[in-house]
Amino acid sequence: MGFGILNAYLASRLAQQNKIPFIYYWIDALDTLIPERYLQKIGRFIERKTINNSERLFVTNEKLKDHLTKLGADSTEIEIFSSGIDFTQFNSNIKGDETRKKYKIKDDQIVLFFMGWLYHFSGLKEVAIKLAGEKSKYEKFVLFIVGEGDAYDDLMKIKEKYHLDSNLILVGKQPYDMIPQFIAASDICILPAYPDEKIMQDIVPIKIFEYMAVGKPVITTKLSGIIKEFGTNNGVIYIDTPRRNRTKSG
């Protein structure tokens, strides 16, 4: 079984030579993660070779299945295995009171929560600046972010420049077993990524399942993979961009 691009291709060739069935398992649209666009074409070429060498193809959602069929895969050879959740770890009985107390979040404050890698296209900078631009309107809102990444330094600069203080909390990378408590401490979980960002089109981040397992409403931009997975009546509210208010259809 292989998950990557080059390593999966090499493994699939070895498996084929030794008459061992090979499964290509996709949890991301791998070629879109390559930073250089000209190398993405090479990535897709290698992926097609691996697909041809594979006995079965596994994906985590419907949009990834579409992605593979565009690469030439036979749809009848693709099986969907949705991301799983450990309900003993993520559930609506978890309390976030201690976490709110630790970070001095008041009972009447509304926590917008995000966790994960902080890409520049995550939309978090736009949300932070929006809170800063209308402080009197959003004074009771707190943007609480767990994670590290490309946008972390920019978010710290926004926090300092606009004196957000307790309205923007950045705690960096945290142990995974603490994540349920962070989610439980929130009121609304968000995924405000740029909707036109190619990397985000064909995936359903597992964090969405974790947010929902803890019983939190989710606000996300209109990402095609998430819309196809959850539809419009499953606790997910869709917005157009990180800067706009809720849409009529959301």
Distance (Å, whole) CA 3 – CA 154: 32
**SS3 of 154, please?**
helix
**Which strands make up the sheet holding 218-221, listed edge to edge?**
168-170, 141-146, 110-115, 188-191, 218-221, 236-239
Chain centroid, CA 81 distance in Å: 17
Distance (Å, whole) CA 183 – CA 32: 29
Q: Among positive and negative, which fits the CA dihedral 141, 142, 145, 150? A: positive
* 97-239 topology per CATH: Rossmann fold (3.40.50)
Which residues face 112 on adjacent strands?
143, 188
Other CB atoms within a 10 A radius of the CB of residue 67 amount to 23
Distance (Å, whole) CA 104 – CA 54: 53
Q: What does the pLDDT profile of the chain (250 residues) look like in tens digits? A: 999 999 999 999 999 999 999 999 998 888 988 888 889 999 999 999 999 999 999 999 888 999 999 999 999 999 998 888 899 999 999 999 999 999 999 999 999 999 999 999 999 999 999 999 887 888 899 999 999 999 999 999 999 999 998 899 999 999 999 999 999 999 999 999 998 888 887 778 889 999 999 999 999 999 988 888 888 888 899 998 886 444 443 3
Distance (Å, whole) CA 145 – CA 190: 10
Domain boundaries, the chain: 6-80, 97-239
Distance (Å, whole) CA 188 – CA 127: 13
